[in-house]
A and B are shown apart, each in its own frame.
Chain A
């Protein structure tokens, strides 16, 4: 046994007598089919006028009628192009390199199009400095086909043509001459847009440009600008760091505008016996905390002290366990010297400066070529907001931002906004701001637009349209060109900017083909505000201004965060993202206040699993200053620092959002002074909230202790494999034998040595739980969205789920000893509340394991699921009759049943229910109908395509060509897919790796998916 550590997915599982957990372990489908409802009631049955014979007649007639009706085939029309574009071959996908830059997510991407429709986003492997292609970027293709988008420009609430709109603007700008107008935009990081805006402001000198980042990184920007003179964010290469200490920085999430998961994961996979050491101090449980070697729960005010202590201050006043961790971390940081990295997420300039100063000599920080993905200054934005409210600003032009929704004082602002002399909103949707604006300019989605971006200094990226605008929209830049009297289109404008400076003689077509170009040319983006401290434009770098409120007595320390699914909330109308379960809480379709178990107990808050296993939680009212958020649902989050709470931004949108997707609570009113740390008061409210939380679903628990295998670096380096990654043994003839022994098998083996044999390796050390694979799988395989109520009934359709396991970090043995040594009464307490705060977390992506001896295949009465020679477990939907035997017999619980028809059904009004949304469907994969089982196919449509390409070209398949949607989407390299019969392949090396293990191997299923076990660097010295 690798370790006999106990892993659990939900607090409920720790309760030994929990009937729900028992029920879920025993039954694949929790809810019994309610036959008793109509068969149990004898009276009702006998009173019924329908006799059995009548019933049979009806059945017979309707079957016959349905059969006869089906005899006539429909007439199908085929409409070819009139003039077929050269680059389009119907049935063959085209890929275009592009860039997403919506002000929150910046990423170099590849767009897969079929017959002129973008259907999937993939990462651009050429681009090394291209931001992170996370779940939201993958899902953004669906936002293109959002039926709630604006279809044309509007003046005073009615749709007009663009020439009419331009006339209205010209007139308005004339009227407004001399009056103060603010152009409030997202961060573009675009050289061309920047140039264009300065041309616009020089034509209209009364217009000034202010950047507003909905979720601000202003403190870090200020600190960097103070120190290095550029308004930018330092770039980090976590692969170069040997010791990483993070104080509240969720750098695998959305910290400072980007994920660093790629570099981080490189350093986290043990190579030559070495891997980085990562210590995390944080309040909320984040992805980063989940991956840390040591995670210490600490409230924001403690974090401030921790940061000071790490950079030279004292640890006095900190609880003993934290102080101890800080001292050890400090020693390790010092020892690592230039290979140490200290990052912090505290929202004040002083803290950010401390970290910057500390890292000044680190090899892992890049200050010469910083990131330009955030530009906003909170003080500037606040002055604009105050100006609008006081009336000193007469006009406001908003681009890509939605202040009426996202400002903390949005009510006050909305009133003042309606009184403005001029309000113009550039928006894709009739959102909160656009619905109050006098003039609304409908903008296209980025997949319909031209653009450029400088994500990292010296790396210039291009955005190109991949479809004609679906609606009568015009991009912001084209409008500016029109209004500055420039007859050029924005495409020509960018091309001119690029050829004249950025490309420096290089090829435009090549840059467009690659999607980016690295250039030493420095483009002067907009004028940077003078960096003088205390000038009112910047926060003082010595005070902890934003954290000042924390010193108040009483209350809880709230950390606002952006969820992996929705981010800042721009894509709230995207059903894929809504249904995406949060990697930590595993709740979808909601945001909620995360509360520690101790605080929940003190406040009388509960989480309860109701009879069918679904989760209910108490409500609370959260208030800061005079602002009260009512009825915020509560999730008791193991590992949440006592005295702290967490809440996700980006939810609670209502304008231009379909009713089903108006989920959660808008947390922006708590985002006072654009600081994500607040002191709040909490009081319990009445009622219970119904969550769609999948944490207890599809459980394999109770089958084996080896679902997650982990060990420490020390053991990994010094002990024999058989000690830390032993092959399970089974009984044979009353003697233990290895489960890989032939005798342990009750089936005759398949010959897997001939031809291609696919295997998928998942490295649990590299997996950060980011969920990009889940969304990529959605897009590739037409996985339906089922909605909150169905998810609550455990009917989610995700082919690929990422299981999250908690562990108290101690072995059973230690735990038992500890209880024995405690005085009687204390031990009751201790047993009741396990060590919630210092938890370890493991993520485990689980999809169909494609067993060579698949239990599902043997029980299918109609042979709908069968085995392929290439190792894939096939599922023929058209053959399936829906007995669900296979799902019941699957030890991994990866099969999904279509309880309903999810396409063209008004009950499930998501993207598959409208013509626009259906455009995202992958034409190579069938849309399943009601009553059939479905599951991961290892993207057989992709492997078949790869094989066919090789056949057509008459060559063997090269290593690295085979891919699945999930392995393609994985940025950290956690997922590797390939042919194990290829001697040279990467996957074969993975299969022979010492860390390799199979999930539930003792069951004898011989899966084709395997995992690389977790190794943690626990050395404290």
Chain B
């Protein structure tokens, strides 16, 4: 317990320290760092990073490199500055592949000062990250030790008890012998196995039991053949649904857009990845976990760049592409027709209903058994989603009258007919 408390306090203290440090820094820039940070994230982060070249150059310490007034005019309208023939402006333009920077005429001097104050922050010391990491490790270690100790003690006590019992038993025997107690010779009985074998009824019952028991497991085994629930293959690029759909709340349909209009949900083409990853070449420190380090994730993003043919140094496509060969997880047999749009757009079924909590899956796996029984169970239970869908108006009215129900299930609509899925 003590160890726990200690760890916790260390962590919180280190965070306080970091915050304190950042509060101290702005002095020389003369702006509000917090306001600057939000402005930076809203306006600049699409093209600029603090320490690394993105579409535009890295911005840490940019306030020291250029004259403040020059920066004001550059940020408000860089094109005009270049057009005016300003030497610095033209040089920068050339250096950055002649990429025109968006003009921000709406930013006041104060706003720009705030941003510059933020960019003038010294790079956060890696110590910050190390302290909690170390703390966590020690916590884990402490727990392990205490468990082992308790277990060891228990074993010891148990052993002592056994020895004690044995000693009591031998002592009692000796006392009995000393008192001249004589044990009677017991009659020899038929061994139990023989008795069992001679009792035909018992044999029969046992045999039936074993057969039933065996068939239960055999059936269970056979029924899971070809059912790949939990199938989580290693993919060529470690793509984390947890980071994308979970931490960053990206909608499933953003990448799997064809789920709305096609039978397949579609694996997004790599250009969809690049919509964001053109600017996100590395993960944040906080993204790293025990299992996967920041370097690991950055390496996976690099794999994406390699596949799509993006040169992060030049910020340009090389044209050399290597399409990614993903391992398909959900494999429906050819003879079963499934249409995503029917379920996603028409029925409004949540993706999670069949795919599980994808937003918490670090490694994507098959959640549902994808067996016919599983499909049918759902079709039997689910009511048809009629909201503002005129297609169903007439048939629903007629059918509900026929079956005498208020709401129809998919099965009653004909969702169990063989030919609806098998053709």
Chain A interface residues toward B at CB < 8 A: 70-71, 73, 75-84, 89-92, 751, 753-756, 864, 866, 868-870, 872, 874-879, 924-927, 937, 940-941, 944, 947-948, 950-952, 954-957
A71 and B225: CB pair below 8 A?
A: yes
Instruction: List chain B residues, Cβ under 8 A from A77.
Output: 325-328
Cβ-neighbour of B418 out of A71, A84, A866 (below 8 A): A866
Report the minimal beta-carbon distance from A240 to chain B, rounded to whole angstroms.
Answer: 42
Give Cα distance in the complex from A411 to B258, angstroms.
58
Instruction: List chain B residues, Cβ under 8 A from A864.
Output: 418
**A878 and B335 contact, Cβ closer than 8 Å, known pairs A940-B423, A954-B390:** yes
Cβ-neighbour of B326 out of A79, A754, A948, A951 (below 8 A): A79
Grouping DSSP codes into helix (H, G, I), strand (E, B) and loop, the A interface class, with mixed when no group exceeds half, is loop
Report the minimal beta-carbon distance from B396 to chain A, rounded to whole angstroms.
Answer: 10
B346 and A951: CB pair below 8 A?
A: yes
A950 and B391: CB pair below 8 A?
A: yes
Interface centre among B262, B267, B334, B392 (most CB of A within 10 A): B334
A940 and B419: CB pair below 8 A?
A: yes
B258 and A868: CB pair below 8 A?
A: no
**A941 and B423 contact, Cβ closer than 8 Å, known pairs A80-B326, A755-B399, A755-B414:** yes
Instruction: List chain A residues, Cβ under 8 A from B263.
Output: 91-92, 924
Instruction: List chain B residues, Cβ under 8 A from A71.
Output: 225-226
Give Cα distance in the complex from A622 to B18, angstroms.
102
Report the minimal beta-carbon distance from A872 to chain B, rounded to whole angstroms.
Answer: 6
CB closest chain-A residue, reference B325: A77
A926 and B267: CB pair below 8 A?
A: no
Instruction: List chain A residues, Cβ under 8 A from B402.
Output: 751, 754
Q: Is B422 an interface residue (CB 8 A)?
A: yes
A876 and B228: CB pair below 8 A?
A: no
A925 and B423: CB pair below 8 A?
A: yes
Instruction: List chain A residues, Cβ under 8 A from B414.
Output: 755, 868-870
B233 and A75: CB pair below 8 A?
A: yes
A81 and B269: CB pair below 8 A?
A: yes
Instruction: List chain A residues, Cβ under 8 A from B335.
Output: 876-878, 926
A83 and B271: CB pair below 8 A?
A: yes
Give Cα distance in the complex from A694 to B402, angstroms.
47
**A872 and B391 contact, Cβ closer than 8 Å, known pairs A70-B225, A89-B258:** no
A924 and B337: CB pair below 8 A?
A: yes
B418 and A82: CB pair below 8 A?
A: no
Complex interface residues of chain B between 383 and 417 (CB less than 8 A to chain A): 388-395, 398-399, 402, 414, 417
Instruction: List chain A residues, Cβ under 8 A from B327.
Output: 75-78
A79 and B323: CB pair below 8 A?
A: yes
Interface centre among B333, B392, B420 (most CB of A within 10 A): B420
Instruction: List chain B residues, Cβ under 8 A from A952.
Output: 261, 341, 345-346
Instruction: List chain A residues, Cβ under 8 A from B331.
Output: 73, 76
Interface centre among A70, A91, A926, A950 (most CB of B within 10 A): A91
B228 and A956: CB pair below 8 A?
A: no
B337 and A80: CB pair below 8 A?
A: no
Chain B interface residues toward A at CB < 8 A: 225-226, 228, 233, 258, 261-264, 266-272, 307-309, 321, 323-328, 331, 333-337, 339, 341-342, 345-346, 388-395, 398-399, 402, 414, 417-420, 422-423
Known: A70-B225, A941-B337. 16 other contacts (CB 8 A): A76-B331, A77-B326, A79-B325, A80-B270, A82-B321, A92-B261, A866-B417, A874-B417, A874-B418, A874-B422, A875-B418, A878-B422, A879-B418, A924-B263, A951-B346, A956-B393
A951 and B391: CB pair below 8 A?
A: yes
Give Cα distance in the complex from A924 to B263, angstroms.
9
A83 and B262: CB pair below 8 A?
A: no
Cβ-neighbour of A76 out of B258, B307, B328, B345 (below 8 A): B328
CB closest chain-A residue, reference B334: A926
CB closest chain-A residue, reference B307: A82
Could you jot down 26 A-B contacts, CB within 8 Å? A70-B225, A77-B325, A78-B328, A80-B266, A80-B269, A80-B270, A81-B269, A81-B323, A83-B270, A84-B269, A89-B258, A89-B262, A754-B399, A755-B414, A864-B418, A874-B419, A876-B422, A924-B337, A937-B423, A940-B419, A948-B339, A948-B342, A948-B346, A951-B342, A951-B391, A955-B391
Report the minimal beta-carbon distance from A64 to chain B, rounded to whole angstroms.
Answer: 12
Give Cα distance in the complex from A927 to B307, angstroms.
33
Instruction: List chain B residues, Cβ under 8 A from A870.
Output: 414
Instruction: List chain B residues, Cβ under 8 A from A954.
Output: 388-391
Report the minimal beta-carbon distance from A635 to chain B, rounded to whole angstroms.
Answer: 38
Interface centre among B233, B391, B395 (most CB of A within 10 A): B391
Q: Which 4 A-B pairs have the closest CB atoms?
A: A874-B419, A91-B262, A84-B269, A81-B269
Cβ-neighbour of B271 out of A84, A874, A876, A950 (below 8 A): A84
CB closest chain-A residue, reference B317: A83
A755 and B398: CB pair below 8 A?
A: yes
A73 and B228: CB pair below 8 A?
A: yes
Grouping DSSP codes into helix (H, G, I), strand (E, B) and loop, the B interface class, with mixed when no group exceeds half, is loop
CB closest chain-A residue, reference B272: A84
Give Cα distance in the complex from A469 to B374, angstroms.
44
A90 and B264: CB pair below 8 A?
A: yes
Report the minimal beta-carbon distance from B292 to chain A, rounded to whole angstroms.
Answer: 23
Report the minimal beta-carbon distance from A841 to chain B, rounded to whole angstroms.
Answer: 34
A78 and B267: CB pair below 8 A?
A: yes
Instruction: List chain A residues, Cβ under 8 A from B423.
Output: 874-875, 924-926, 937, 940-941
CB closest chain-B residue, reference A754: B398
Instruction: List chain A residues, Cβ under 8 A from B323.
Output: 79-82
Instruction: List chain B residues, Cβ under 8 A from A754.
Output: 395, 398-399, 402
Instruction: List chain A residues, Cβ under 8 A from B233.
Output: 75
A83 and B266: CB pair below 8 A?
A: no
Instruction: List chain B residues, Cβ under 8 A from A925.
Output: 423
CB closest chain-A residue, reference B396: A755
**A876 and B419 contact, Cβ closer than 8 Å, known pairs A755-B395, A952-B345:** yes
Give Cα distance in the complex from A850 to B199, angstroms.
62
**A868 and B419 contact, Cβ closer than 8 Å, known pairs A75-B233, A79-B323, A755-B414:** yes
A91 and B266: CB pair below 8 A?
A: yes
Give Cα distance in the complex from A57 to B226, angstroms.
26
Instruction: List chain A residues, Cβ under 8 A from B226.
Output: 70-71, 73
Report the minimal beta-carbon distance from A940 to chain B, rounded to whole angstroms.
Answer: 5
Instruction: List chain A residues, Cβ under 8 A from B228.
Output: 73
CB closest chain-B residue, reference A92: B262
CB closest chain-A residue, reference B263: A91
CB closest chain-A residue, reference B413: A755
Report the minimal beta-carbon distance from B349 to chain A, rounded to whole angstroms.
Answer: 13
**A868 and B345 contact, Cβ closer than 8 Å, known pairs A84-B269, A925-B423:** no
B271 and A82: CB pair below 8 A?
A: yes
**A91 and B345 contact, Cβ closer than 8 Å, known pairs A70-B225, A79-B326:** no
B399 and A878: CB pair below 8 A?
A: no
Instruction: List chain B residues, Cβ under 8 A from A944.
Output: 337, 420
CB closest chain-B residue, reference A877: B335
Give Cα distance in the complex from A940 to B337, angstroms.
11
B417 and A869: CB pair below 8 A?
A: yes
Instruction: List chain A residues, Cβ under 8 A from B398.
Output: 753-755
CB closest chain-B residue, reference A865: B418
CB closest chain-B residue, reference A868: B417
Give Cα distance in the complex from A751 to B336, angstroms.
27
CB closest chain-A residue, reference B274: A83
B269 and A951: CB pair below 8 A?
A: no
A875 and B269: CB pair below 8 A?
A: no
Report the minimal beta-carbon distance from B307 to chain A, rounded to whole angstroms.
Answer: 7
Interface centre among A84, A879, A927 (most CB of B within 10 A): A84
Give Cα distance in the complex from A1009 to B266, angstroms.
38
Cβ-neighbour of A79 out of B262, B309, B324, B336 (below 8 A): B324
Give Cα distance in the complex from A872 to B419, angstroms.
8
Instruction: List chain A residues, Cβ under 8 A from B272.
Output: 84
Instruction: List chain A residues, Cβ under 8 A from B308.
Output: 82
Instruction: List chain B residues, Cβ under 8 A from A878.
Output: 333, 335-336, 422
Give Cα distance in the complex from A990 to B422, angstroms.
30
Give Cα distance in the complex from A82 to B310, angstroms.
12
Interface centre among B269, B331, B334, B419 (most CB of A within 10 A): B419
Give Cα distance in the complex from A952 to B327, angstroms.
30
